Structure 1
Amino acid sequence: MLKKAQKLVASSTVPWIIEKLKPTFDFTHKPLQIDNKQIELLYIKTVVNGDKLYSTVIKPFFEMQSLKNIEAYFNSLPNQQEVQSKDQLLVELTKGSVLIVIKDNILLFDFKQVHLDVPLPTNVEPTIQGPQYALSEDLITNINMIRQRYHQPSLRVEMYSVGKKVHQSVAIIYDEAIVKKDALKEIKSKIKDIEKDLVLASADLIRCLNSKKRSLLPTTILTERTDRISYNLSGGKVIIIMDGDSNAILAPAVFFDFMTSMEDEYHPYWVSKFTSSLRYIGFFSCIALPGLYVGLTSYNPDIVRVELALSVAGSRVGVPYPSYIEVFIMLIVMEFLTEASIRLPKAVSATATTVGGLILGTAVTEAALASNILIIIVSAVAISTFVIPINEMSFAIRVSRYVVLIFTTIAGMTGLALALIGLVMWMANKSSYGEAYFKLFIQGKNKET
Structure 2
Amino acid sequence: MTKTSQTSNQSALTPLSRSLQVNAHAIHTRFGGSSDLVIRLFRSDAAPERQLALIYIAGIVDADVINDSVLAPLMSMKLPSYMEETENLLIESLRACVVSVGSVKEVSTLEEALQYMADGMCLILADGSPLALLAEAGGGKDRSVDVTQTQTVIRGPQRGFVEDIGTNISIIRRIIRSPNLHVQTHKIGSQTHSNVAVLYLHGVADESVVKEMYRRLAAIDIDGVLESGYIEEFIQDESFTLFPTLMNTERPDTVAAALLEGRVAVMVDGTPIALMAPITFFSFFQSPEDFYQRFDISSFVRVIRYAAYIVSMLLPSLYIAVTTFHQEMLPTTLLISLAAQREGVPFPGLVEALLMETTFEVLREAGLRMPRAIGPAISIVGALVLGQSAVQAGIVSAGMVIIVSFTAISNFVMPEFNMAATSRIIRFGIMLMAGMLGFFGIFISLLFVLVHLASLRSFGVPYMSPIAPTAKGSGLWRDAFIRIPWWAIVMRPMDLKLRNPRRQRSARKPPAQRH
Shift of 1:106: 1.5
> Does structure 1 residue 447 correspond to structure 2 residue 467?
no
> What does residue 95 of structure 2 align with?
71
Shift of 1:447: 3.3
Change (3 A) 1:173 1:399: same
> What does residue 400 of structure 1 align with?
426
> Does structure 1 residue 359 correspond to structure 2 residue 369?
no
> Per chain length, whose mean CA-contact separation is higher, i.e. which structure has more relative contact order (CA < 8 Å, sep 6+)?
1
CA distance in 2, matches of 1:403, 1:176: 44
> What does residue 118 of structure 2 align with?
94
Shift of 1:205: 2.3
CA distance in 2, matches of 1:228, 1:325: 42
Change (3 A) 1:57 1:275: same
> What does residue 205 of structure 1 align with?
231
Question: Matched residue of 1:217: which SS?
Answer: coil
Aligned Cα RMSD in Å? 2.3
Shift of 1:229: 0.7
Question: Matched residue of 1:30: which SS?
Answer: strand
Report Cα offsets for 1:33-66 as digits up to 9, x if no partner. 1354343222222322221101111111223220
Fraction of identical pairs, as percent = 28
> In structure 1, what residue type is equivalent to 2:120?
G
Report Cα offsets for 1:136-172 as digits up to 9, x if no partner. 1111111110100111211111111122211111111
Task: Give the aligned length.
Answer: 445
Shift of 1:442: 4.7
Question: Matched residue of 1:338: which SS?
Answer: helix
> What does residue 390 of structure 1 align with?
416
**Structure with the higher fraction of residues in helix conformation:** 1
User: Which range moved further: 412-421 or 281-290?
Assistant: 412-421
Segments of 5+ residues of structure 1 without an aligned counterpart are: none
Matches within 5 A, 1:228-239: 228-239=254-265
Question: Matched residue of 1:173: which SS?
Answer: strand
Matches within 5 A, 1:12-411: 14=23, 15-21=25-31, 23-35=33-45, 36-37=47-48, 38=50, 39-66=52-79, 68=83, 70-73=94-97, 77-81=101-105, 83=107, 85-102=109-126, 103-210=129-236, 212-411=238-437
Shift of 1:408: 1.2
Shift of 1:308: 2.7
> What does residue 89 of structure 2 align with?
none
CA distance in 2, matches of 1:138, 1:232: 21
Report Cα offsets for 1:149-199 as digits up to 9, x if no partner. 111211111111122211111111111211133332222222212122121
Task: State whether residues 434 and 440 of structure 2, in contact with CA within 8 Å, keep that contact through their aligned partners in structure 1.
Answer: yes
User: Which range moved further: 364-373 or 275-284?
Assistant: 364-373
CA distance in 2, matches of 1:22, 1:323: 63
| TM-score (ref. length: structure 2) | 0.81
Segments of 5+ residues of structure 2 without an aligned counterpart are: 1-9, 84-92, 467-477, 481-488, 496-515
Question: Matched residue of 1:200: which SS?
Answer: coil
Q: Larger Cα Rg: Structure 1 or Structure 2?
A: 2
Shift of 1:237: 0.9
Task: State whether residues 10 and 106 of structure 1, in contact with CA within 8 Å, keep that contact through their aligned partners in structure 2.
Answer: no
User: Which range moved further: 378-387 or 69-78?
Assistant: 69-78
Q: 1:11 aligns with which of 5, 11, 18?
A: 18
Task: State whether residues 172 and 238 of structure 1, in contact with CA within 8 Å, keep that contact through their aligned partners in structure 2.
Answer: yes
Question: Matched residue of 2:373: which SS?
Answer: helix
Report Cα offsets for 1:334-368 as digits up to 9, x if no partner. 10111111111221111111111111111111111
CA distance in 2, matches of 1:22, 1:401: 52
Task: State whether residues 245 and 279 of structure 2, in contact with CA within 8 Å, keep that contact through their aligned partners in structure 1.
Answer: yes
Shift of 1:211: 5.2
Task: State whether residues 28 and 42 of structure 1, in contact with CA within 8 Å, keep that contact through their aligned partners in structure 2.
Answer: yes
Shift of 1:70: 3.2
Question: Matched residue of 2:96: which SS?
Answer: helix
Task: State whether residues 105 and 135 of structure 2, in contact with CA within 8 Å, keep that contact through their aligned partners in structure 1.
Answer: yes
Task: State whether residues 83 and 107 of structure 1, in contact with CA within 8 Å, keep that contact through their aligned partners in structure 2.
Answer: yes
CA distance in 2, matches of 1:215, 1:196: 23
Shift of 1:95: 2.7
Report Cα offsets for 1:380-426 as digits up to 9, x if no partner. 11101111111111111111111111221221101111211221121
Shift of 1:85: 4.9
User: Which range moved further: 307-316 or 120-129?
Assistant: 307-316
> What does residue 475 of structure 2 align with?
none
Task: State whether residues 259 and 389 of structure 1, in contact with CA within 8 Å, keep that contact through their aligned partners in structure 2.
Answer: yes
Shift of 1:131: 1.0
